Amino acid sequence: MIIYPAIDIKGGRCVRLTQGRANAETVYAENPADVAREFRAAGSVWVHVVDLDGAFAGEPQNLAVVQAIAALGMKVQLGGGLRTRAAVERALGFGVARVVIGTRAAESENFVGELVTAFGDKIAVGIDAKNGQVAVKGWVATAGISALALARRMDALGVATLIHTDIGTDGMLTGPNFPAQEAMLNAGKFRVIASGGVSRREDVVKLAELSLRHANLDGVIVGKALYEKRVALGDLLEITGG
């Protein structure tokens, strides 16, 4: 199981939002690349990056920062505002290893299908769920479809990786929504990256145990717990072997 330490970028800085609210922002670093450098030093191969400005604006806004992170030699998984093929191609050209399609995946299956055909495993779909329903456009709107229904549609398109975020637990340090994550694991053949709520090492231990029952649990995104020093990245990497 892979640990994906998270870097959320807003205004060029490393921040965290509570439950995705733009008015609930905490700044943790002025230079996100410095944070990524620390993650790399701890042994992380991957880093999960979200362009929050891009998520709200509808197109990437911080690609120069993303490029600086990719230049460190880490595998960057990028989400936020990737709603056109041109934006996806540009991000991949900047050295991103995997892009995450969120809002557009809920709006257009054809768009996702074309990307999967063109770029294969470099395309992941982000399903952000609030009370089981898909939230889009920086979590400020709902898509009128359940998370599990959208997941099954993405599975039919051949999407290899889904990032399932439970908005209710995101940034709250209350522990993951394990039943919701397990339901997602049972919904298709895709790999699942769990996101939302990790607050202590025991949460990661429990997810690692879940991965023994569900081989498609690819990993977990850890954000605020790292910044608040509730967990140590090196320790989590030892627990999971990745």
Q: How many residues does the chain have?
A: 242
Q: What is the DSSP letter of 199?
A: -
- Backbone dihedral region of 121: left (phi > 0), alpha (psi from -120 to 50 degrees) or beta? alpha
CB atoms within 10 A of CB 93: 10
Place of tokens 């900047």: 94
d(CA 67, CA 22): 24
- The tokens describing 197, both together, are 């709520």
Tell me if 145 sits within 8 A of 61, measured CB to CB.
Answer: no
Q: What is the DSSP letter of 198?
A: -
Active site residue 53: no
In sequence order, what are the residues at sequence separation of 6 or more whose Cβ sits closer than 8 angstroms to the Cβ of residue 211?
Answer: 1, 217
Choosing from 51, 53, 128, 203, the catalytic residue is 128
CA distances from 18 to 26, 87, 173 (A): 8, 27, 10
Active site residue 218: no
Task: Tell me the catalytic residues.
Answer: 8, 128
